[in-house]
Structure 1
Amino acid sequence: MKKRNRKIAAALGIVIIGGIWYNGAQSSKALPSEQASPTSSFTPLPSPSDEPSQSPESPSPSASQAPDKSPKPSASASNPPTAKPTETKPTESTPPTEAVKPPVKESAAFELLADSLPGSTVRKNKQGLAVITNASSLYVLVNKQRNLASDYVPKDLIVPDVPFSFSGDSPKKQMRKAAAKALESLFKAAKDDGIKLKAVSGYRSYATQKSIFDSNVKRKGEKVANRTSARPGQSEHQTGLAMDISSASVGYALEESFGKTKEGQWLAKHAAEHGFIIRYLKGKESVTGYSYEPWHVRFVGKEIAEDIANKKVTLEQYFEDAETAMARKA
């Protein structure tokens, strides 16, 4: 009985050892195949054309990738310095660019100004002040650089037959005769068109202008006063050729809003037909030295007034063009 059991145990041992040997043999056969088989965990290196460029500051490649042995572009090669623009120096063939003033348009009206050109109608007095020598001319130019003498008073002052914004007698109702007659024509044309205008202020003496300017300095300060009113001797009102005009729509006040009223717009459109210009234009403050005054008209005669209106210039600019044209002919 014991002998039989030993045989059975020996047989079982042989079976177990055989099974173990068989499994090992199978495992050894599969091992080379698994090593050679590519798996999804392997990532091939990109081709040179697909590889993104890396700056010197880029991180090193990971251990799973082979290092890129291709030469890296230097910072100077990848980011070349910006070239400075070439400066073009003016030569005889390429002169420097300058603002070109448009040529002066000739005008027959310039001939009327031959004896009134600014360059030949001013002198310095003992105080060094530039004083006008043609004060009685209908074309006299008065501004901050050209002063009327303190004792100048026009000899032909009259009161035009037009409505005024105030009653009673006053020197400021007066104008020189030629200007007064032209004002009557202007007011009649306005009335015919259904426009109601009233005269506010005409002639002012040197003394009156001084009083007005000094009062404005006290109320507004000298800087503001010098833009909105003239110093004595620098006012066109002293020539007797200017008149301030207003309407009921602005309470007969002298203010910029008058220019937007139907009366102010009519005046700007038709003044030249009767020999007047709007003396201090909007946008021309740097030329005239004064703020825009749509109420202030100045008599210069029909021919010159219409020429100035068509050219849309100030009296200063018109005289400048006239002097240029006269010099060209000389």
Structure 2
Amino acid sequence: MKRFANCTNHPIILVTAALLALSGCSGLAGPAPQEKTAPPATAPEQTKQKSVKPEESKPADQQPAPSAKTAPPAEAKPDEAKQTEAQPPKKPPATAAADTEAMLADIEVVAEPASMAVLVNKQRKLPENYTPTDLVFPNVPYLLPKKSEKRKLRKEAAAALEALFAAAKADGVSLAGVSAYRSHTYQKALFNHYVQKDGVEKARTYSAVPGTSEHETGLAIDVSGIDGKCAATSCFADTKEAKWLAEHAQEYGFIIRYPEGKEAITGYMYEPWHLRYVGTEIAKEIKAQGITLEEYLGVVPASASE
């Protein structure tokens, strides 16, 4: 009986063990689906979505993105500075004119503007309404259109210029006029343009104040060689034309108005091309003494003696 009991118990034990094994396997398999479908599985996805949103809002919160988006404005600033340097702010025309008038108020007006020996410089000006009444066109070659007003000279000076040009040509030196008379209106408009652009002080370094230009007297002319080379430039001093003028101009009543080494007195750099008619008597004396018109008339600027 014992053997039978033992034998009959084996299948029961095996079946029980199999059931336990199956129940154990199903117990292990159960949690797996829960892991796949459980809410924790979607939590990482939500985390991912949240991590994407901050990246989209990066430009508002983080430094690198704004600097990239605001780069064009940053580059525009140097451009603005560059434009300011290339094109400095201009004064309104009315302001430029007012500055010029204020400066002119301090300059002495000459008493005899029609005199052949009139002294016009940075300290002495012509009356604003002065216009020579005897302007004519000299019969000499010019580097200007035939009808240009800047060809004109006063009648006496024009005749002397014709004689000077003829004498130079006889010596093998061909001259040409570059610029003679300039009206007060023209000089004023020109100077105001420079003041509007650069201001009064800077404009005075390269342009004559209205009324203080010798060209307004009708007695001054810039000359050059007939070919126009070195016209109104420093290289003219080395030309045969300049050397002839320096030696003979006074014979026809002209002087080199702004001689070398006299800049402190005349207020202008050496201009071997700038001739001024004063008449033969005065011209010869100035040449003989090696002086300027200011020195001849005894009207030397105080600044020149300092």
Same fold (TM over 0.5): yes
CA distance in 1, matches of 2:232, 2:105: 34
Q: How does 1:279-298 map to 2 (within 5 A)?
A: 279-298=257-276
Tell me what 2:232 maps to.
Answer: 254
CA 1:219–1:282: 2 relative to 1, 3 Å:
farther
**AA aligned opposite 2:291:** V
Q: How does 1:18-37 map to 2 (within 5 A)?
A: none
Aligned with 2:183 (options 179, 186, 205): 205
Over the aligned positions, Cα root-mean-square deviation in angstroms equals: 2.3
CA distance in 2, matches of 1:312, 1:224: 31
Aligned with 1:319 (options 283, 297, 304): 297
Aligned with 1:150 (options 111, 124, 128): 128
CA distance in 1, matches of 2:291, 2:198: 29
Deviation per CA, 1:219-273, whole angstroms, max 9, x where unpaired? 7775564244311010111110001101256526211211111111111111001
CA distance in 1, matches of 2:253, 2:168: 14
Aligned residues: 197
Deviation per CA, 1:62-94, whole angstroms, max 9, x where unpaired? xxxxxxxxxxxxxxxxxxxxxxxxxxxxxxxxx
Cα displacement (A) at 1:170? 1.2
Unaligned runs of 5+ in 1: 1-125, 323-330
Aligned with 1:160 (options 128, 134, 138): 138
CA distance in 1, matches of 2:227, 2:195: 28
CA distance in 2, matches of 1:173, 1:315: 24
Cα displacement (A) at 1:319? 0.7
**AA aligned opposite 1:180:** A
CA distance in 2, matches of 1:188, 1:144: 33
For 1:251, what is the secondary structure of its paired residue?
A: coil
Specify which structure has the higher proportion of helix: 2
Unaligned runs of 5+ in 2: 1-103, 301-306
Cα displacement (A) at 1:283? 1.2
CA 1:199–1:290: 2 relative to 1, 3 Å:
same
Q: Percent identity?
A: 49
**AA aligned opposite 2:181:** Y
2:246 counterpart of 1:274: no
For 1:151, what is the secondary structure of its paired residue?
A: coil
For 1:198, what is the secondary structure of its paired residue?
A: strand
For 1:138, what is the secondary structure of its paired residue?
A: coil
Contact 2:176 2:228 in 1 (8 A): no
Q: How does 1:11-90 map to 2 (within 5 A)?
A: none
Tell me what 1:187 maps to.
Answer: 165
CA 1:319–1:263: 2 relative to 1, 3 Å:
same
Q: TM-score, normalised by structure 1?
A: 0.56
Contact 2:153 2:220 in 1 (8 A): yes
Cα displacement (A) at 1:187? 0.2
CA 1:255–1:190: 2 relative to 1, 3 Å:
same
CA 1:225–1:165: 2 relative to 1, 3 Å:
same
CA distance in 1, matches of 2:170, 2:198: 40
Tell me what 1:131 maps to.
Answer: 109
